[in-house]
Amino acid sequence: MKTLPNLRVLASMALVIILLLSWPSIIYASAPPTALDRWQVMLIGAAEEPGTAPPVSGNWKKANAGETLVELPPGAKGVWIRLQIPSTEDWHRPGILAGRMYGLNINVYKDGELLYETKRDFQVELSRLLLPVDSSPEKSKLDVLILTNGERAGFLAPVQLGEFDALDKSYIRTELPSLLLGASIVFLALLMSVCSIFLSKHQRNFWISLCIIALSTGLLIASYSPLPYLYYPSGGPIFLAMFELSLFTMFPALGYFVSETFERKSPRFHRFTRWQAYYSVFGVLSFLAYSLVGDRLYPFYSIVSVVAVGVLMLVQMVWISILSVSYWRRGDSQASVLSLGLLAFAGTSATDLILYYANDKGYVLFLWKLGFVAFILSLVIILARRISNDYKTLLSYSKQLELFNLSLERTEKLKIISDLAASVAHEVRNPLQVTRGFLQLLSKKDDQQSQGYITIAVNELDRAAEIITDFLTFAKPELEAISRLDIRELLEQLDLIMGPHASMHGGRLVIVSEEKMEIMGSASKLKQALINLIKNSVEAFREEGLIELSARAEGREVVLRIKDNGEGMDSEQLSKLGVPYFSTKSKGTGLGTMVTMRIIEVMNGSIIFQSQKGKGTEVTIRFPLVDQLAPSTVKLPH
């Protein structure tokens, strides 16, 4: 019974803890941020020594989000900005955020009291101001002192007033993706560099240029973000050096990559890229001199790294856009994808530069990042397509190699058999002829019983002679007389020979041929091969047997197709066609098909069998045409 009170005590304690944890958020429900889109600007002359407050007699100018007034006239070294702060009692811990602003040294005063101070000893003007302010129902004003040795100072966008922690997190969420994108591209470039050791020399140069583009672009994106300078100010000079060196490296590498991609078909662009590389070397030397001498060289280096490089980049990007469009119109799929990627990168970069100069350098470049992602995406698509095509090619080569090995194995077997067949046939033919002669002499006697035996013996000797002839044809299928053969005339003769034979076995032979098709070969050997095939079809007849023999020109070849509706063959039988002594007939030797295939092979032709059990067989034979004449279709008379 004591357990129940204990549980009540624990539940009460848990409820108190939950209420305490949630109490601040209940009491201090924060209002959404407010945009302060209007402020006043007062210039600070080069000879002035600013104090803790702007001079009373100063000349204030009104500024807003549409007219930021960040561009400094000659002789000015900074600005005072007066910001009117409304009531802040709606926030538990109010703060202001100027997420986009220019300035090196920034001080914030309220009624002459210093609230915030930051100084930079490196030339990165893009900065941020995040400052907590007092929660008060009264309005107030802040004076922001911004000093620089550059050409810009001030706010680029409206100042946000809201919960301090929320503003800090929102700023990080806004800027962090660019930093992560840059770091990812740098990592990708390093992996690509490692992969370059597996490429040939020609491929390596092209690949390394792509690695340099990816590496320098990744470093540009990462070092262009304000986050490294804000959270690691001691590394500011290093980040700045990374940015400047990447800037001078990327664009010559991009020019080389584009020139090689388009096979140097624009000599002027190739020369421009070479000149741009020379200028980049000059730019790197200027940066080293500026780093050693200091701010005295800043006006000169500003022209070298901002004005001149900006113009060169703009010209290069417009030029690449024109080349990409012209190459895209050629219709090649991979070239089109790459051209689209380059066009996206060049187009967005050119747009960024135009907007940058059109807004008096008060525009923050960001479109080029999206363009580069599109460019990388196009390369990934091309790489994926190439891997897929290479895989398909590898499978095709593997199948061809397997077929070649099978063909080689079959050829070696047939060579052995043909040598043996030639030897046996020559040795056996003579004794058979002698035996036949003696049997013919004995047949002149009047013994009727002996006559029947002798007739059978002579028929079997004739059959043996046919087999030996097939052996010899298979062993030595050389063509006795090679001439130009008119396919239509040869098929007319074949129709006269084999048409009646098909009719005697209850079927029909239909021959359709185009005219004016000639091949090189032996008429007798080709007739023998076609007769063997037609005999096979006749022997496979069922009811209402039909053999269709067509001849037509396809490209630079004559294609003969023999199709029947007979018994057909299964896949196992089909695979054994041409193997010595394999036949689908009970008394067959398989030599007829072997002889047919050898004759067609010697006449530079090819033969393919297709069959389906119970539906019939189709044989396709191809020979090269002697002349490519305009054919017309004629059906041979039966």
- CA separation for the pair 509, 499 (Å, rounded): 6
CB 286 within 8 A of CB 250: no
Query: How far apart, in whole angstroms, are the C-alpha atoms of residue 49 and residue 207?
Result: 54
Using DSSP's 3-state secondary structure scheme, residue 38 falls into strand
Structure tokens, 596 = 């047919």
Measured between alpha carbons, how far is 582 from 393 in angstroms, rounded to an integer?
Answer: 35
Highest mean pLDDT among 203-217, 363-377, 481-495: 481-495
Task: Round to the nearest angstrom and report the end-to-end CA distance of the chain.
Answer: 114
The pair of structure tokens assigned to 174 is 């806004």
- Render pLDDT for 402-420 as a digit per residue (tens, 0 to 9): 877 777 776 666 666 666 6
Q: Indicate if the pLDDT at residue 589 is higher than 60.
A: no
Encode pLDDT of 35-94 as tens digits.
Answer: 998 999 999 988 888 888 888 888 899 998 778 888 888 888 899 999 999 998 889 899
Kindly report the average pLDDT of the chain as a whole number: 79
In the predicted model, is pLDDT for residue 1 greater than 60?
no
Contacts of 180 (CB under 8 A, 6+ apart): none
Mean pLDDT of 111-122: 87
599-614, pLDDT tens digit by residue? 888 888 999 889 888 8
- DSSP 8-state secondary structure symbol assigned to residue 546: E
DSSP 152: B
| Token duo for residue 540 | 């496979």
With a cut of 70, say whether residue 379 has pLDDT above it. Answer: yes
pLDDT tens digit sequence for 244-283: 898 888 888 888 887 877 767 788 888 888 898 999 999 9
Calculate the alpha carbon distances from 77 to 116, 237, 389 in Å: 20, 22, 61
Q: Is the pLDDT of residue 455 over 90?
A: no
Contact 173, 123 (CB under 8 A): no
Residue type (1 letter), 343: L
> Rounded to an integer, what distance in angstroms lies between the CA atom of residue 521 and that of residue 527?
11
* pLDDT per position as a tens digit, 555-572: 889 999 999 988 888 888
The confidence score (pLDDT) of residue 568 equals 85
DSSP conformation class of 405? H
Parse the chain into domains and list their residue ranges.
Answer: 34-171, 175-391, 398-458, 478-635
Mean pLDDT of 106-120: 90
Give dist(CA 108, CA 64) in Å, integer: 19
Q: Which two tokens stand for residue 133?
A: 């302010």
Contact by Cβ (8 Å): 623, 612: no
CATH of domain 34-171: 2.60.120.260
In one letter, which amino acid is 370?
A: L
Rounded Cα gap, residues 301 and 241, in angstroms: 13
Backbone dihedral angles phi then psi of residue 474, each to the nearest 5 degrees: -65, -40
Query: With contact defined as beta carbons under 8 Å apart, do 259 and 273 qualify?
Result: yes
Q: Which residues pair with 486 in a beta bridge?
A: 518
pLDDT by residue (tens digit) across 507-565? 889 999 888 889 988 888 888 889 888 888 888 887 788 999 999 998 889 999 999 98
CA separation for the pair 138, 344 (Å, rounded): 51
Quick one: which of 530, 617, 618, 537 has its CA closest to 569? Answer: 617
Q: Would the pLDDT of 233 be above 70?
A: yes
CA–CA distance, 97 with 130 (Å, rounded to integer): 5
How would you list the strands of the sheet with 76-85, edge to edge?
61-64, 38-45, 76-85, 140-147, 105-110, 113-118
Distance CA 100, CA 157 (A): 6
The pLDDT-based confidence of 28 (bands split at 50, 70, 90) is very low
- What are the backbone angles phi and psi of residue 145, rounded to the nearest 5°? -100, 125
Class of domain 175-391: mainly alpha
For 342-359, letters b (16+ CB in 10 Å) and e give: bbbbbbbbbebbeebeee
| Percent of all residues in the chain with a pLDDT value above 90, rounded to a whole number | 15
For 478-635, which CATH class? alpha beta
* Average pLDDT of the residues in 491-497: 88
Helix (H, G, I), strand (E, B) or coil at 146: strand
Q: Which pair of tokens denotes residue 21?
A: 């944890």
| Tokens, residue 295 | 């701010």
**Alpha carbons 524 and 483: distance in angstroms, whole number:** 11
Note the maximum CA span of the chain. 155
pTM, entire model: 0.56
Dihedrals phi, psi of 117, to nearest 5 degrees: -150, 135
Distance CA 251, CA 248 (A): 7
What three-state secondary structure class fits 36? strand
